[in-house]
């Protein structure tokens, strides 16, 4: 339901007011939302380049030393198992022998968290529901030690070529890759670990045109698609299986409101997610949410990462 | 796979172990083979061996396997030569630090940098000089996505 008044637009989603402000788009609108949610941002926040060492190919020390020999300075990111911030480099890290040999991948710090939190292991049957371009898929394979069975799905054939290239480059041999809609594709399997790093609205840190392109209607549409994928994710889990739901969106409709929807509609239990950032929001634009939303994790831009949201659920 | 023999490799997977998806070939671990229940939409599976183009093009994974075989033909290079090769250039004979076995005109060699395979080529003569003609290098990963 949309109510338009002379100076303010109130947009309702699922019966809860989302934000009162002028219009449904633009820098001022979205920064106003974030301030209302408790974080004052400038809209100029950036995230440093980061890499993730691939333990299937090399030990961290070997990669750090090899790159240091080429004048690349790295700094270990303390909350990541194999993540390093690029302090300085005289060349593109996507064009080095070590990169081509699959010793590391370029992966922003926050985006390394979902797989690390989910922690798939050698005995798991794991699924990456929205795999392309393959960074998190190769990360899952690394945690699994190239053992077990890892399934990766994406709905875009063009983007799946990037997944295939990543798997080959990084030496992954335990993965089955499918073209299909993760919400409906039949894989003939149930999973102990599912990663749903869902298609989302993104955030302005990684997209310089974000404020000019995004509207609240985009957010709504993405949130609906995410719920469709969340339902399927729970269906695909074995009892006792774990789901890690993540987005790089700052919008509560795609984050805490969807996590709450998951709790209310699928009978899962939420697990505490630690690490950088702050607890998930329990109050959104004056509406109180389930207090268990604080078990989730929200990363606001400006703390060395882009925006991110993580929720971990267990199927009873 | 004639190329594998040309590289001095004895690698020859059982036909029953090889899965073909369109023009690509794969082998699967037992756990992955047990987990393969659905074929619809499958585009990639397990260990990628290579694909049929005009000739068979081995994957980086297969080249890695071949380079680990003691008897395959290899040339070892330093970083500068390795980078040029990965950029698609041929190798001059004098930039090779070591050849296993010694150079044989027309033979194929895996190109190895610090124990890791970065591609392969053929030892031949060009412009009066002996070179390793670049037939494949890992820079292909970047060119594929251009």
Residue-wise pLDDT for B67-81, tens only, equals 999 999 999 999 999
pLDDT at A17: 46
Which residues of chain A fall short of a pLDDT of 50?
A: 1-17
pLDDT at A6: 29
pLDDT at B146: 73
Residue-wise pLDDT for B3-28, tens only, equals 888 898 988 888 888 999 999 999 99
CB contact under 8 A, A101 and B144: no
pLDDT at B14: 84
Rounded to whole angstroms, how far apart are CA atoms A199 and A181? 12
Write the ipTM: 0.96
Band of residue B53 on the pLDDT scale cut at 50, 70, 90: confident
CB contact under 8 A, B61 and A173: yes
Task: Report chain A's mean pLDDT, rounded to a whole number.
Answer: 93
Residue-wise pLDDT for A166-183, tens only, equals 999 999 999 999 999 999
Beta-carbon count within 10 A of A307 CB: 28
Rounded to whole angstroms, how far apart are CA atoms A123 and A118? 14
Residue B51 vs residues A155, A178, B18: alpha-carbon distances, Å? 23, 18, 12
Residue in A97, A157, A167 nearest the CB of B113: A97
Nearest Cα to Cα of residue A173 among B38, B23, B115, B30: B30
pLDDT at A10: 38
CB contact under 8 A, A168 and B61: yes
Residue-wise pLDDT for A33-68, tens only, equals 999 999 999 999 999 999 999 999 999 999 999 999
Residue A170 catalytic? no
Residue in B36, B64, B82 nearest the CB of A97: B82
Q: Which of residues 57-96 of B touch A (CB under 8 A)?
A: 59-61, 64, 79, 82-83, 86
Residue in B31, B40, B141 nearest the CB of A100: B141
Residue-wise pLDDT for B87-112, tens only, equals 999 999 999 999 998 999 999 999 99
pTM for the model: 0.94
């Amino acid at each position: 339901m949309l109510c338009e008044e002379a100076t303010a637009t109130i947009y309702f989603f699922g019966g809860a007011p989302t934000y009162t402000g002028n219009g449904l788009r633009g820098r001022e609108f979205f920064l106003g939302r974030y301030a209302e949610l408790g974080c004052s941002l400038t809209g100029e926040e950036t995230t440093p380049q980061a890499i993730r060492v691939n333990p299937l190919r090399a030990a961290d020390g070997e990669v750090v030393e090899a790159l240091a020999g080429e004048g690349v300075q790295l700094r270990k990111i303390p909350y990541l198992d194999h993540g390093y911030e690029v302090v300085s480099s005289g060349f593109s890290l996507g064009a080095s022998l070590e990169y081509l040999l699959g010793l590391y991948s370029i992966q922003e710090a926050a985006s390394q968290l979902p797989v690390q939190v989910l922690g798939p292991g050698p005995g798991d049957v794991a699924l990456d529901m929205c795999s392309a371009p393959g960074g998190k898929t190769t990360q899952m394979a690394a945690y699994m030690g190239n053992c077990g069975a890892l399934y990766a799905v994406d709905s875009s054939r063009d983007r799946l070529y990037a997944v295939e290239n990543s798997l080959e480059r990084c030496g992954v041999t335990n993965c089955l890759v499918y073209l299909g809609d993760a919400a409906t594709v039949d894989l003939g399997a149930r999973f102990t670990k599912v990663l749903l790093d869902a298609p989302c609205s993104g955030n302005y840190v990684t997209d310089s045109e974000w404020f000019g392109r995004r509207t609240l209607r985009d957010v709504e549409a993405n949130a609906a698609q995410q719920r469709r994928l969340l339902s399927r994710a729970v269906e695909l889990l074995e009892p006792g299986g774990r789901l890690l739901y993540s987005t790089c969106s700052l919008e509560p409709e795609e984050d805490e409101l969807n996590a709450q929807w998951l709790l209310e509609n699928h009978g899962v239990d939420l697990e505490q997610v630690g690490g950088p950032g702050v607890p998930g929001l329990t109050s959104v634009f004056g509406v109180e949410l389930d207090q268990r939303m604080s078990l989730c994790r929200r990363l606001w831009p400006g703390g060395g990462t882009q925006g991110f949201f993580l929720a971990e659920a267990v199927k009873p | 796979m004639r190329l594998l023999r040309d590289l001095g490799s004895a690698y020859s997977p059982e036909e029953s172990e090889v899965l073909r998806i369109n023009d690509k070939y794969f082998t699967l671990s037992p756990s992955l083979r047990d987990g393969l229940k659905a074929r619809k939409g499958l585009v990639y599976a397990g260990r990628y061996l290579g694909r049929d183009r005009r000739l068979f093009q081995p994957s980086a994974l297969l080249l890695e396997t071949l380079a680990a075989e003691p008897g395959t033909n290899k040339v070892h290079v330093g970083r500068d030569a390795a980078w040029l090769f990965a950029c698609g250039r041929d190798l001059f004979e004098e930039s090779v630090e070591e050849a296993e076995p010694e150079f044989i005109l027309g033979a194929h060699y895996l190109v190895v940098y610090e124990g890791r395979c970065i591609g392969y080529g053929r030892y031949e003569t060009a412009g009066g000089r002996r070179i390793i003609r670049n037939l494949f290098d890992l820079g292909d990963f970047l060119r594929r996505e251009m």
